[in-house]
Amino acid sequence: MDLATALARLEAAGTEQNRRIYRRHGARDPLFGVSFAVLHALAKEAKRDHALALGLWATGNYDARLLACMVADPAAAGEADLDSWLAEIDVYVLVDTFVGSLAAQVSGVRERADRWSAADRDWTAQAGWDLYGQLAMRDAALDDTLFLGLLRRIEAGIGTAGNRTRHSMNGAVIGIGVRSAALREAAEATAARIGPVVVDHGQTGCVTPAAVPYIAKAWDRRASKAGVAGGAR
């Protein structure tokens, strides 16, 4: 798929309803308003195509940049490239897609999370804590001491962190809490001490979940799949 074809198909798939929704979530023009179902279908068709991703990103179009994150080749993305893209992102949905589809797939995730999470810029710190959440759920080789240290950082810093960073810190607590039974106890204790995490979601129906019941439900689902009553403790 070439750039002209990709843009034409994005434009054809856009709807006014989606444009209104995306604007409520912080997106700005130019945008087409393409559903994520269509974006994922286009990404599956295009596969990993870094040249296409670079062209899509350069347009500045919101939907094109979402698709760029999905088709960018992690093997071709260097640290400077990731930093450059992230510096241009100021919409939380695009941060989430950038992290999940690209930044979490490029080697050096731990070091990248350390660096980004320490940033003053809200969107950059959000990406860093999103990466920690990915590590908690995906990298079984990491020692629990890393995550215990992250829980301490979250407890000490969430009160003064940026709006979207608070949401991602809360998500990291949840990710850590579902990683292992030992970390569940520590994560729930941390969440209880922190209390409610207040995040401004603007004119949307989104909410930041309470970590303790969310962790409990995740463990209950895991136990149900395994045929065991009650989550691990």
CA distances from 208 to 21, 64, 174, 199, 211 (A): 18, 27, 11, 7, 9
Domain boundaries, the chain: 1-90, 108-233
Q: Report the alpha-carbon distance of residue 171 to residue 203 in Å, rounded.
A: 21
Whether the Cβ atoms of residue 199 and residue 208 lie closer than 8 Å to each other: yes
Whether the Cβ atoms of residue 168 and residue 126 lie closer than 8 Å to each other: yes
CA distances from 77 to 48, 54, 64, 105, 212 (A): 12, 10, 18, 10, 36
Of 23, 24, 33, 40, nearest to 206 by C-alpha is 24
Of 152, 161, 172, 173, nearest to 198 by C-alpha is 161
Whether the Cβ atoms of residue 49 and residue 1 lie closer than 8 Å to each other: yes
CA distances from 146 to 42, 67, 152, 199 (A): 37, 33, 10, 26
**pLDDT attached to residue 39:** 99
Of 138, 50, 42, nearest to 102 by C-alpha is 50
Compute, in degrees rounded to 10, the torsion defined by CA atoms 219, 222, 228, 229.
40
**pLDDT attached to residue 63:** 99
The two structure tokens encoding residue 48:
């990993």
Q: Averaged in consecutive runs of 10 residues, what is the pLDDT profile of the chain (233 residues)?
A: 98 98 97 98 98 98 99 97 98 98 97 98 99 95 96 98 98 97 97 97 95 97 75 56
